[in-house]
Amino acid sequence: MSGSQLSQSRGREALAIDAADSAEKVPTIRLQQLLRSYGHGESEVIALNSIDFTVQKGEFVALMGPSGAGKSTCLNMLGCLDRPTSGHYFFQGVDVAYLSGEQRALLRRHFIGFVFQGFNLLNRTTALENVELPLIYRRVPAKERHRRAHEALEKVGLSGREKHTPGELSGGQQQRVAIARAIVTDPALMLADEPTGNLDTAMSQEILRLLTQLNQEQGLTIVMVTHEADIAAIAQREVHFLDGRIATDTTRREQSE
């Protein structure tokens, strides 16, 4: 997959072929000396300080650190929501830093699923309609949209709740709808920003079990930001940020040996 190939005219099928070929050969994510700063001169703030970071296909990585450490800035970079000041971000072999705004939007639409702390559901639409939204943007025909949205809701344990609006669902159920919306496009990467931050302990455990299941059984690559050590403990790797740098990067296998 090359930057020039990320054009609207090619369509999802060609993009999927490119991504599948690339995914077999390179990491899903590779950051190389990536720096993000804001402001200039004495007012300059360095949010990410020349970091190197790699995520392989199928990994589940938790990003941790105090407020202002750089983890949320890193997540925005991974989601193509921001550009680096210098350095490189390779997504399945493509240097995202040098793609146009339209190309980055296309990459987000086809390859990345997002889950937010606040759910970000449309209140007056049903669970099924919320899950269908990414497919509408991609102009998937209605019959195919309905089928895929039903399947996504079934995967997250919400069969029979398709016609419920967010106000008729619990917080945990709303987050399940949000996860279904993130996976309905069959993304290469899920980015989760404090996905249990608005949930109680019981609901949080439900969501964590679901994310673990998606990672282990479906092979979904997940990068999750969290402040909580017990939440991060479900991930295979914990990457701790401090002052815009990666302070530690530890895998669960290393911890158990």
For residue range 51-90, what is the model confidence (pLDDT) as tens digits?
999 999 999 999 999 988 999 999 999 999 999 999 999 9
Q: Which of 5, 51, 58, 6 is nearest to 30 (CA)?
A: 51
Predicted pLDDT of residue 253: 63
Please determine, for residue 11, whether its predicted confidence score (pLDDT) is greater than 60. no
Q: How confident is the model at residue 190 (pLDDT cuts 50, 70, 90)?
A: very high
Cα separation, 194 vs 125, in Å, equals 24
Cα separation, 176 vs 83, in Å, equals 30
**Domain boundaries, given as residue ranges, for the chain:** 57-81+102-256
For 105-137, b where at least 16 C-beta lie within 10 A, e where not — what string? ebbbbbbbbbbbbebebeeeebbbbbbbbbbee
Predicted pLDDT of residue 251: 93
Burial of 223 (0-12, 13-18, 19+ CB in 10 A): buried
Cα separation, 164 vs 158, in Å, equals 10
Q: Are residues 157 and 210 in contact, defined by beta-carbon separation less than 8 angstroms?
A: yes
Q: How confident is the model at residue 41 (pLDDT cuts 50, 70, 90)?
A: confident
Cα separation, 188 vs 90, in Å, equals 13
Please determine, for residue 193, whether its predicted confidence score (pLDDT) is greater than 70. yes
128 token code pair: 């099924």
Q: Give mean pLDDT, residues 15-23.
A: 46
Q: What is the largest CA-CA distance in the chain?
A: 57
Reported as a single tens digit per residue, the pLDDT across 120-141 is 999 999 999 999 999 998 899 9
Q: How confident is the model at residue 26 (pLDDT cuts 50, 70, 90)?
A: confident
Q: Give mean pLDDT, residues 40-48.
A: 89
Predicted pLDDT of residue 6: 52
Please determine, for residue 18, whether its predicted confidence score (pLDDT) is greater than 70. no
Instruction: Give me the sign of the Cα torsion angle 147, 170, 207, 54.
Output: positive
Predicted pLDDT of residue 8: 43
Cα separation, 86 vs 89, in Å, equals 10
* pTM across the whole model: 0.87
| Residue 35 or residue 41, greater confidence | 35
DSSP strand pairing (60-64 vs 221-225): parallel
Q: Which amino acid is at 147?
A: R
Q: In the CATH scheme, what is the code of domain 57-81+102-256? A: 3.40.50.300
Residue with tokens 């269908």, as numbered in its chain: 132
Q: What is the mean pLDDT of the chain?
A: 88
Q: Are residues 61 and 224 in contact, defined by beta-carbon separation less than 8 angstroms?
A: yes
Please determine, for residue 4, whether its predicted confidence score (pLDDT) is greater than 80. no
Please determine, for residue 169, whether its predicted confidence score (pLDDT) is greater than 60. yes
Predicted pLDDT of residue 257: 44
Please determine, for residue 48, whether its predicted confidence score (pLDDT) is greater than 90. yes
